[in-house]
Amino acid sequence: MDEHVRVEREGAIATVTLDRPGTRNACSMAMWLAIRDCFRDLAASDTRAIVLTGANGDFCSGADVVKKEGASGWEGNKLTAMRQLAESVVAVHDCPIPVIAKVDGVAVGAGFGLALAADLLWCSDRARMSAVFAKLGLSLDYGLSFLLAKRIGLHKAKEIAFTGEMMDAARAEQLGIVNAVVAVADLDRAVQEVAERIAGGPPIALSMTKRMLDHAATSSLAQSLEVEAMAQNVNLGTSDLIEGLTAFAQKRPPVFEGR
């Protein structure tokens, strides 16, 4: 783990916080690897919802490739370093537990990719986002060539990527990048409410639903129907199904146990 990546648990909800003061939470290689490792650990836990956020009024200003605190992790083979960076994208995106990005301040470069790797994205009205790479003489990385096109479509993704536009919260909402924009003072509460609602759902069923939706773009209708059939076969054998049906009949909220 890394001192600048915190993991906190409150009930079934885990919060992963990037906290590197003075850098707008720019991530060193050690931090990217810590993100990878904590998401792998959470994936094997009984966590039901994960909030990914940044401290100090910002989400993440991208990768810090400048040596400031010991070795940056970029001194050797750059291809190997990029492949290690990719492991953190996969750990977040493929985590079987629903992930909510809570974005305040800047989310640029790889930090923008990190936010899009989550399943849902809530941001404050002062958030700013950019695939800034073109302005730096770089092409997209941190999965943005996949994540951005998947989120907003090819033509809009090219516009954002080619221009390196710095988007305010309203523009991000217009493009469909975010689920919602709320006032800074309301961001914590809004995300907490969403996380609690997800955490109160059936974790086995939601995990399979996440997988099905993630794979929908590369599946045919027949394939999707077959996967749905197999997933429902699993759900039909769970105590959560019995609880859901019982609670529905009794007109009360269900209490799912993930069994």
**Top-confidence residue, 82 or 37:** 37
Coil/strand/helix, residue 9: strand
Q: Which residues, listed in sequence order, are joined to residue 100 by a DSSP beta bridge? A: 51, 120
Q: How many helices (H) and strands (E) does the chain have?
A: 10, 9
The CATH-assigned architecture of domain 5-199 is Alpha-Beta Complex (3.90)
pLDDT at 2 over 90: no
Give the residue carrying structure tokens 């060193």.
28
Residues 134, 107: Cα–Cα separation, whole Å: 16
Give pLDDT, residue 67: 53
Give pLDDT, residue 78: 83
Residues 6+ apart with CB under 8 A from 126: 104, 105, 169, 184
Residue 132 and residue 164 in contact, taking contact as beta carbons nearer than 8 Å: yes
pLDDT at 233 over 70: yes
Domain boundaries, the chain: 5-199, 203-250
Question: What average pLDDT score do residues 229-253 get?
Answer: 96
Give pLDDT, residue 81: 87
Question: What average pLDDT score do residues 178-205 get?
Answer: 97
Give the residue carrying structure tokens 């090219």.
158
Coil/strand/helix, residue 165: coil
203-250 belongs to CATH 1.10.12: yes
Over the stretch 38-96, which tens digit does the pLDDT of each residue have? 999 999 999 999 999 999 999 999 998 765 545 556 566 888 888 988 999 999 999 99
- Pairing state between β 120-124 and 180-182: parallel
pLDDT at 176 over 90: yes
Over the stretch 243-259, which tens digit does the pLDDT of each residue have? 999 999 999 999 999 99
Residues 150, 31: Cα–Cα separation, whole Å: 26
Over the stretch 113-137, which tens digit does the pLDDT of each residue have? 999 999 999 999 999 999 999 999 9
Over the stretch 195-214, which tens digit does the pLDDT of each residue have? 999 999 999 999 999 999 99
Residue 146 and residue 125 in contact, taking contact as beta carbons nearer than 8 Å: no
Give pLDDT, residue 174: 96
Over the stretch 146-161, which tens digit does the pLDDT of each residue have? 999 999 999 999 999 9
Residues 184, 124: Cα–Cα separation, whole Å: 5
Give pLDDT, residue 74: 59
